[in-house]
Amino acid sequence: MKHSVWASAGLIALLTGCTIGPNYLRPSAPEPAAYKEPPPLAVKDAGPWKPAQPSDQGPRSKWWEVFGDPQLNALEEQVTANNQSLKVAEAQLREARAAIGFNQAALLPTVSVAPSISSLHWSNNRPYFSHTHTTGDFILPLDLSYEVDLWGRVGRTVTAAGEEAQATAADLQTAGLSLHAELALDYFDLRSADSQKKLLDESVAAYRDALQLTERRADGGLAPESDVAQAKTLLDSTRVQATDISVQRAQSEHAIAVLIGKPPAGFDLPPEPLMLHQPAIPVGIPSDLLQRRPDIASAERRMAAANEQIGIAKAAYYPSLSLGGSTGFEGEAITNWFNWPSLFWAVGATMGETLFDGGRRKARSEEALAAYDATVANYRQTTLTAFQEVEDGLSALRILEQEAAEQDEAVASAKNSLELSTNRYVGGKDTYLLVVTAQTVALANQRNQTEILRRRMQMSVLLIKALGGGWDSQELPKLVDLTNSSHEPKN
C-alpha cells in the first residue's frame, strides 16, 4: 500500500509540468514609420526604426517643470500628495496585488483543524441498553486537502492575476498623468483669465480717460454729444467684459482646489498674468510611444491576462485530481485523548471528470476567446488613439505658432491704427466713431493674442500627456516579483 502511494505521488509530479492552452504572444498594432507632422525637435541618432515592446515606466518625471512656473510646480506636488482620485487608483493597485496572493494560495495545500468535545447521555429506556450511561468524544483532527495543478489552471489563474495587477499599476500611472495634466490645463485657464482681466482693466482706464477727453471737447463745442455717448458705451461694455472674466477665473480656481484635495472655500490663488513661453518638447519616434504610454501598457497587460483565461477554460475539459488526508487524536475522555492508541489517520486521492455539462465548458471557452479578441481590438484602438493625440498636438502647435506670429503683427497694426485715429480725432480730422472702431479692434486683437498664448500652453500640456509624460524608462513591476513565484507557462 505504501509503495503504491509513493508511485502515485511520483506520477502526479510528472503530470504537473503540463499546461494546457496558448502561450501569449503580443499581437501586432498599427505603427507608422514616422509622424505625419514634423516634430518640434529633430530626433538625432535615433537609429533604425524598430518595434517597441509595451511597458510602463517607473515614477513619473516632473514634466510640468518644463514650463518654469514655481506656482504650478507647487500645485502639481499637492496633486501627487492629496488628490482623492489618485488615492482611489492607488487603492485599486493594492487590491489587485492582494488578489494575486488569494489566487496563489491555491498552489499550496489547505490545512485545517477543528477540535471538538462532546458528551452524550443515553436514555435509560434505550433498546439494548448498555451499562454505559454517558459517553464522551474528544477529537483533535488535522485535515489537509490539495488540488494538483495537472493542466496549469491554477498557475494560469495566478499569472492572470499578476498581469491584471500590472495593468492596474499602469492605470495608476495613467490616472496620475491625467490628473496632473488637468491641473496644468486649469492653471493656464486661470492665468489666462488673469491676463484678460489685466488687459480689460487697463482698457477700462484708457477708455475712461478717452471719455473725459470727449466730454471736455463736447463742453467746448468741439465735439457733438454723440461722441460722448459712443465713448461711454464703449467704456460700459468693456467694464462688463472685465467683470464677466471673473466667472472663468473663479471656476478654474475651484477646479484647482478640488484637484489638490482642498475645498474651494479654503483655497485662494493670487492673480498673476500668464507670462510663460511654449517649451520645447522632444517627441521621439513613433515606436517609442508604445513604451511611453501607460494606457497602452495597461491594454497590453490585459491582453495577456485574457490569454490566460483561454488556457483556464481549456483546462476544464481535462480531469481534476485532489489529494486529501486527515490525522489527529480521538478519545472518550480527556485522560486518554492524546494516548498513542488514540491516533487516527486517513489519506486518499480523488480523480474527477465531467462527462456532460450541457455545453457549459464550450460556452466558457468561446466566451474566453471573445474576451481576448475584445482586448486585442482595445489594444489596437488605444494605440491608434495615442498616435492621433500626438499628431493632433504636433499639428496644433505648428499652426498656433504661425497664428501667434500673425496675431502679433495684427496687434501692432491695431495699436498703430488706434494711435492714428486718436490723433486725427484730436486734430478734428476724423469723427469719434473711427476712434471707437479702432479701440474695439485693438482690444479684440490683444485679447486674441492672450487667447492664443493660452491655447499654446494648454496644447503643450496635451502633447506631453499624449507622449506619456516624459518619464525615465523603466518597466512595469515584474510578474515574478508580483507573484513571488517562478511559474512560467509551458507547452
Q: Quick count: other Cβ atoms within 10 Å of Cβ 380?
A: 17
Q: Is the per-residue pLDDT at 76 higher than 80? A: yes
Sign of CA dihedral 65, 71, 74, 76: negative
Q: Is the per-residue pLDDT at 370 higher than 50? A: yes
Closest CA to 472 of 56, 54, 78, 41: 56
Contacts of 198 (CB under 8 A, 6+ apart): 271, 273
Q: In this structure, what C-alpha cell is assigned to residue 350?
A: 480523488
Question: Are the beta carbons of 12 and 319 closer than 8 angstroms?
Answer: no
Question: Does 451 fall in a domain?
Answer: yes
Q: Residue 404 and residue 352: Cα distance in Å, rounded?
A: 75
Q: How many helices (H) and strands (E) does the chain have?
A: 10, 5
Largest CA distance in the chain: 137
pLDDT band for position 258 (cuts 50, 70, 90): very high
Residue 139: phi and psi, rounded to 5, are -125, 135
Q: Residue 375 and residue 372: Cα distance in Å, rounded?
A: 5
DSSP codes joined into one string, 282-350: ----HHHHHHH-HHHHHHHHHHHHHHHHHHHHHHTTS-EEEEEEEEEEEESSTTSTTSGGGEEEEEEEE
Q: Residue 86 and residue 259: Cα distance in Å, rounded?
A: 10
Q: In this structure, what C-alpha cell is assigned to residue 482?
A: 508580483
Residue 83: phi and psi, rounded to 5, are -65, 130
Residues 196-234: pLDDT tens digits?
999 999 999 999 999 998 999 888 888 889 999 999 999
Chain position carrying cell 495593468: 167
Question: Does 125 fall in a domain?
Answer: no
Residue 118's DSSP bridge partners are: 137
Q: In this structure, what C-alpha cell is assigned to residue 146?
A: 490539495
Mean pLDDT of 103-128: 79
First-to-last C-alpha distance (Å) of the chain: 34
Residue-averaged pLDDT of the chain: 85
Question: Does 137 fall in a domain?
Answer: no
Question: Does 345 fall in a domain?
Answer: no
Question: Are the beta carbons of 394 and 464 closer than 8 angstroms?
Answer: no
Question: Does 338 fall in a domain?
Answer: no
Residue 143's DSSP bridge partners are: 112, 326
pLDDT in the model for residue 134: 65
Closest CA to 463 of 243, 249, 284: 284
Q: Is the per-residue pLDDT at 475 higher than 60? A: no
Q: In this structure, what C-alpha cell is assigned to residue 256?
A: 484647482
Looking at the structure of the chain, the number of domains it has is: 1
CA dihedral angle for residue 479, residue 483, residue 486, residue 491, rounded to 10 degrees: -70
Residues 432-451: pLDDT tens digits?
899 999 999 999 999 999 99
Question: Are the beta carbons of 230 and 436 closer than 8 angstroms?
Answer: yes
Q: What share of the chain in percent tops pLDDT 70?
A: 86
Residue with more model confidence, 57 or 390: 390
Sign of CA dihedral 258, 262, 266, 267: negative
Lowest mean pLDDT among 49-53, 308-312, 354-358: 49-53
3-state secondary structure labels for all residues of 159-221: HHHHHHHHHHHHHHHHHHHHHHHHHHHHHHHHHHHHHHHHHHHHHHHHHHHHHHHHHHHHHCC
Question: Are the beta carbons of 151 and 315 closer than 8 angstroms?
Answer: yes
CATH number at residue 179: 1.20.1600.10
Q: Is the per-residue pLDDT at 184 higher than 90? A: yes
Cα R_g (the chain), whole angstroms: 37
Instruction: Report which listed range, 3-17, 297-311, 329-343, 426-440, is most confident.
Output: 297-311
Q: Which domain holds residue 205?
A: 19-108+167-318+360-483
Under DSSP, the state recorded for 63 is G
Residue 183: phi and psi, rounded to 5, are -65, -45
pLDDT in the model for residue 41: 41
Residues 27-38: pLDDT tens digits?
888 888 888 887
Q: Is the per-residue pLDDT at 46 higher than 80? A: no
Question: Does 311 fall in a domain?
Answer: yes
Residues 334-365: pLDDT tens digits?
778 888 888 888 898 888 888 988 899 999 99
Q: What share of the chain in percent tops pLDDT 90?
A: 50
Residues 272-301: pLDDT tens digits?
999 988 888 888 888 888 888 999 999 999
Q: Residue 19 and residue 365: Cα distance in Å, rounded?
A: 16
Residue 33: phi and psi, rounded to 5, are -75, -25
Closest CA to 234 of 252, 209, 255: 209
User: Looking at this protein, which amino acid is placed at residue 237?
Assistant: S
Q: In this structure, what C-alpha cell is assigned to residue 104?
A: 496563489
Question: Does 196 fall in a domain?
Answer: yes
Half-sphere exposure of residue 464: CA atoms within 13 angstroms, side-chain side: 29
Question: Are the beta carbons of 438 and 19 closer than 8 angstroms?
Answer: no
Question: Does 333 fall in a domain?
Answer: no
Residue 203: phi and psi, rounded to 5, are -65, -40
Sign of CA dihedral 250, 252, 257, 258: positive
